[in-house]
Amino acid sequence: MHELFANNKRYNSFVGYYKRVYGERLQKLVLDAGFTCPNRDGRLGYGGCTFCDNAAFHPNYSTNDKSLHKQIDEGIEFHRIRYPRAKHYLAYFQAYSNTYSDLAHLRELYENALSHPNIVGIVIGTRPDCVDKEKLEYLSDLSKGKILKDWHRDLQFQSLDKPIITVEYGVESCYDKTLLRINRGHDFQTAVEAIKITADLGLDVGGHFILGLPGETKQMLLDQCAVINSLPLTSVKFHQLQIVKGTVMQKEYKANPEEFLSFGSMEYIDFIIELLERLRPDLCIERIAGEVPPRFVEETPWGLIRNVQLIQLLDKRLKGKNSFQGRLL
């Protein structure tokens, strides 16, 4: 069964998806385009989600005092050492809520990134309550080649003449009780509707989930897989909850640590396997863990283990257990 997956993997990795669909690995370059978030600027609230310190989630090269093209150039340089074979890149609008503006401003930013000669698409990270039909229809037209005529005509890239567009929603949890507790400012149904409209318009849709939010049990997270399977998502990202210094969640954690799941690194890998076994095989797995730089956290319970090592452990463990994504479906 696992031979179905690319790269000799036992799960449907997103890197493999890009290789299968576009013939090569595509590297995302994180951008900060100067957005804010309605949960921070007062439209919904000022404090933000209780776990959030955006600085902890994006690399040094992406700061909004630089133009988008400069951030892209520096991102390419940064990644050249790690992935020397990457030739084409996706501009990843990651910091804060990247659809939280009027359409004219969004168009300017997205089309500016797409005008960079090494960029073959954009990934837009946002909240599900920061999109509307007009913005999504524009993105859909963009992905169908209706907006940028003659775009990158000379690009040596798998006969691509239209940009790859993905919208990535922070869903975080399928449980309203959790969303309320982390001060998310929207409910799960808002995420369901945004994902459905986006997928109906033919766009790739990603969902971001945090594992270990306060009050959630392992069983709740396993049960969540059926809900995730029912959504028209192209890909998912899982992050273990990392308690960032100075956040409301840190205070909560110090006061009531028993309300948080804690995983050792091997225990986490085994838990990821339990999740994978329950996820539909066509769902791409983009990430299994997050990497907040050590200076942002008080504790590093897994030491300084990198994602790439976790993925190696996962591959080995899946093989050892003779398991694979979707095994229990």
CB nearer to ligand SF4: give 45 or 145: 45
Choice from 16, 75, 163, 170 touching ligand SF4 (CB under 6 A): 170
CB nearer to ligand SF4: give 40 or 88: 40
Q: Are 169 and 102 in contact (CB under 8 A)?
A: no
Q: How far is the CB of 223 from ligand SF4 (least distance, A)?
A: 24
Q: How far is the CB of 317 from ligand SF4 (least distance, A)?
A: 30
Q: Report the run of H or E that residue 255 belongs to, with start and end.
A: helix 248-255
Q: How far is the CB of 39 from ligand SF4 (least distance, A)?
A: 4
* Per-residue binder mask for ligand SF4 (CB under 6 A), 137-166, x = binder: ------------------------------
Q: How far is the CB of 322 from ligand SF4 (least distance, A)?
A: 38
Q: What is the dihedral of CA 173, 303, 56, 180, to 10 degrees?
A: 20
Q: How far is the CB of 47 from ligand SF4 (least distance, A)?
A: 8
Measured from the Cβ of residue 295, the count of other Cβ atoms closer than 10 Å reads: 7
The token pair at 161 is 């003449």
- Written as one string, the DSSP assignment of 285-321 is EEES-----GGGBS--TTTT--HHHHHHHHHHHHHHT
Q: Are 173 and 166 in contact (CB under 8 A)?
A: no
CB nearer to ligand SF4: give 54 or 64: 54
Q: How far is the CB of 37 from ligand SF4 (least distance, A)?
A: 3
CB nearer to ligand SF4: give 52 or 122: 52
Instruction: Give the CB-side neighbour count of residue 65, counting CA atoms within 13 A.
Output: 2
CB nearer to ligand SF4: give 97 or 224: 97
Burial 110-145 (b: 16+ CB within 10 A, else e): bebbbebebbbbbbbbbbbbbbeeebbebbbebbee
Choice from 28, 127, 152, 237 touching ligand SF4 (CB under 6 A): 127
Reduce the secondary structure of 67-81 to three states and give it as a string. CHHHHHHHHHHHHHH
Does 249 bind ligand SF4 (CB under 6 A)? Our answer is: no
CB nearer to ligand SF4: give 281 or 290: 290
**Separation of alpha carbons 234 and 14, rounded Å:** 9
**Separation of alpha carbons 253 and 246, rounded Å:** 11
Q: Report the run of H or E that residue 142 belongs to, with start and end.
A: helix 133-143
The token pair at 44 is 């919904």
Q: Which amino acid is at 142?
A: L
Q: Where in 32-71 is the site for ligand SF4 (CB under 6 A)?
A: 37, 39-40, 48-49, 52, 54
Q: Which of 129, 320, 22 is nearest to 14 (CA)?
A: 22
CB nearer to ligand SF4: give 18 or 169: 169
Does 327 bind ligand SF4 (CB under 6 A)? Our answer is: no
Does 96 bind ligand SF4 (CB under 6 A)? Our answer is: yes
Q: How many residues bind ligand SF4 (CB under 6 A)?
A: 11
Q: How far is the CB of 243 from ligand SF4 (least distance, A)?
A: 14
Q: How far is the CB of 130 from ligand SF4 (least distance, A)?
A: 8
Q: How far is the CB of 72 from ligand SF4 (least distance, A)?
A: 22
CB nearer to ligand SF4: give 168 or 277: 168
Residues making contact with ligand SF4 (CB under 6 A)? 37, 39-40, 48-49, 52, 54, 96-97, 127, 170
